[in-house]
Amino acid sequence: MGKTAKIILSIIGVLALACLVGSVVLVKVGKEKLGAFVQETQRQNAEARTWARGRAQSECVDEGLTRVQRCGDAAFGCQVSVQSFTSACLSSAAPTPGLCDGVPHPQDYNSGAQWKALRCAAYNAPQSGAAMRCQNLLSALQNHCARSRLPAPAADASVAP
pLDDT in tens, 20-68: 777 877 777 777 777 777 787 788 889 999 999 999 999 999 999 988 8
Is the residue at 113 inside a domain?
A: yes
Instruction: Report the pLDDT value the prediction gives residue 158, as an integer from 0 to 100.
Output: 55
Per the structure, the count of domains in the chain is 1
Residue 104: band (very low, low, confident or very high) from pLDDT cuts 50, 70, 90: very high
Instruction: Report the pLDDT value the prediction gives residue 150, as an integer from 0 to 100.
Output: 72
Q: Are 133 and 64 in contact (CB under 8 A)?
A: no
Q: Are 79 and 136 in contact (CB under 8 A)?
A: yes
Is the residue at 156 inside a domain?
A: no
Q: Taking the C-alpha atoms of 95, 98, 101 and 107 in order, what is their torsion angle to the nearest 10 degrees?
A: -10
Is the residue at 114 inside a domain?
A: yes
Question: In 3-state terms, what secondary structure has residue 56?
Answer: strand
Closest by alpha carbon to 58, among 70, 66, 50?
66
Closest by alpha carbon to 56, among 85, 99, 119, 87?
99
Residue 6 is which amino acid? Answer: K
Q: Which domain holds residue 45?
A: 36-148
CA 87 to chain centre: 9
Is the residue at 5 inside a domain?
A: no
Q: Other CB atoms closer than 10 Å to residue 153's CB: what's the count?
A: 6
Is the residue at 9 inside a domain?
A: no
CA distances from 80 to 8, 86, 137, 145 (A): 47, 10, 8, 19
Is the residue at 26 inside a domain?
A: no
Please state which of the ranges 11-25, 59-73, 84-98 shows the lowest mean pLDDT. 11-25
Q: What is the rounded distance in angstroms from the CA atom of residue 137 to the CA atom of residue 67?
A: 10
Is the residue at 15 inside a domain?
A: no
Percent of the chain past pLDDT 90, that is, above it, reads 35
Is the residue at 104 inside a domain?
A: yes
